[in-house]
Structure 1
């Protein structure tokens, strides 16, 4: 690495650190992690603030942070790695390994349909409880017995709360292992981050998890939305993540593969190993990378959100959105957003965390935060703007 590269990287790290400290001083954030990789090399790894709303425990690069739908990209990565290994194909029907899933005409639903949110199973039961959500067998049986809302591939609609269990049970049936174990064995372990990237957090690791707090203004705006709000039709409000939900031990320790608890460093490292090589590890081939990152449903309208479908095969295409638009994860997919860089892909969580990568520049970025804001992801947008400027 040249002296010029070192200087440029140092300036980016300093700018990200200043951004984090300014947000914390202003009271808009409590604790944050900001990580950037380029060409498989760690460029910036910022941790600032506290891991508790009113405590002294600092956020460190090792602090685990519940990050909501950010974890959908992790589940997708597990699936793509198994496809890369030849265990199944994107067009393998789920019933090949999960026969009872074929009830009510679901025999034609493939892994590709699930990853592109076109399987026709976007909604959880309106009366679902958190206890049912965290019961793997109950969720799997419910999905196996569900009636699809449309034929597979006919339409698309954000599978907000069903995505993870559809992927996860298919993976469990195909491998004989829970998806959390497959994540550790096939993705996190080879990358040296098995203790930083989780669906369900082991009990022994709970002391490392940050305690979230709800942003008062954002939380008030979100809770004032009517029951008819599109997201609540797919994921009823009693199971839509907020700080209280994300602090529950049963949520943190359960496999919910549409969510995740992680460090920004681990998430960015995973994305970096998708778009290139990290310490000798590359998760997918260049051809598979091109296929998974490209928009899968151009011109389609999302049946759940009413907005243009943004999905690639397992991720959000051209994400994050362009500067000045909304990058707020689950909330962001409920409205039109300005397209971001055409080759980037990623996934955000409703609280403001998220990650993305760009196969062209081979940059990977992750943001985790402890102040949960469902309507504002300005920190992600500011980080993205800084990184885009650094890229150029």
Structure 2
């Protein structure tokens, strides 16, 4: 994908780029995760079905009813940017990133300039654009979202119990063609925890660039979210916190 940072902020341009992209494999024969690509495919479907921008649908259909409309955004109004904790890269991250080979599959999916670093994530245009990946959020808002999916928020049930079971069950699995890790996926969510455990045990969620992580545990009724503003290349911090939560659950 040959795009610039500025183009990331252009919805029509990015949808056109994704639509023109050549498939890496025959659908159904492999798996690969790329947040930008996935986000614009799903986001454009939502826009065409509803006739509304994705950020507006998010606010009106989900975060508003959940009471977290001012804590979870795709495109965040500039007037709200002062509430954000600035991102920072962990020491050594920039050097490690610079040494990565240019021919890695993840850089074929998107150029290095668009990889989620602190410098990119702190840009005013990136924060304000309706980019359907890399949301601006609090841990509280994400935990409440997963609690609602589990059926624990009175009056708000985004999905049925039947759909929840599908979301938390394996729909596809295998070696990720973009990042190289072993993965398992439900409908729209990764399955399991960052250490690779619970991959088939009804634990669904998503890891974020920099080491943030969210998940819902169907069996134990746990909704978990941890957000970080210091970006690290691993999930060591969140794995430690998840262990503490598991011990108390």
> Which of 40, 44, 54 pairs up with 1:165?
40
Q: Which moved more, 1:273-282 or 1:285-294?
A: 273-282
Partner of 1:262 in structure 2? 137
Please report the RMSD computed on the Cα atoms of aligned residues, expressed in angstroms. 1.6
The alignment status of 1:353 with 2:196, answered yes or no, reads: no
- The equivalences for 1:39-58 within 5 A come to none
Offset at 1:147?
2.8
Offset at 1:161?
2.5
Partner of 1:228 in structure 2? 103
Partner of 2:223, secondary structure, is strand
Offset at 1:160?
3.5
Change in 2 beyond 3 A, CA 1:158/1:167: same
TM-score by length of 2: 0.94
> Which of 119, 122, 126 pairs up with 1:251?
126
Q: How many equivalent pairs are there?
A: 249
Unaligned stretches of 5+ residues in structure 1: 1-124, 322-336
Offset at 1:180?
0.6
> Which of 310, 318, 323 pairs up with 2:192?
318
Change in 2 beyond 3 A, CA 1:175/1:193: same
8 Å Cα contact 2:55/2:74 also seen in 1? yes
Partner of 2:234 in structure 1? 376
- Give the Cα separation in 2 of the matches to 1:161 and 1:284: 24
Change in 2 beyond 3 A, CA 1:340/1:147: closer
- Give the Cα separation in 1 of the matches to 2:215 and 2:98: 28
Change in 2 beyond 3 A, CA 1:250/1:282: same
TM-score by length of 1: 0.61
Partner of 1:180, secondary structure, is helix
- Give the Cα separation in 2 of the matches to 1:343 and 1:221: 35
Unaligned stretches of 5+ residues in structure 2: none
- Give the Cα separation in 1 of the matches to 2:23 and 2:104: 21
In our comparison, the structure showing a higher alpha carbon Rg is 1
The alignment status of 1:187 with 2:45, answered yes or no, reads: no
1:123-150 C-alpha deviation (Å, 9 max, x unpaired): xx1x310011111010112222333233
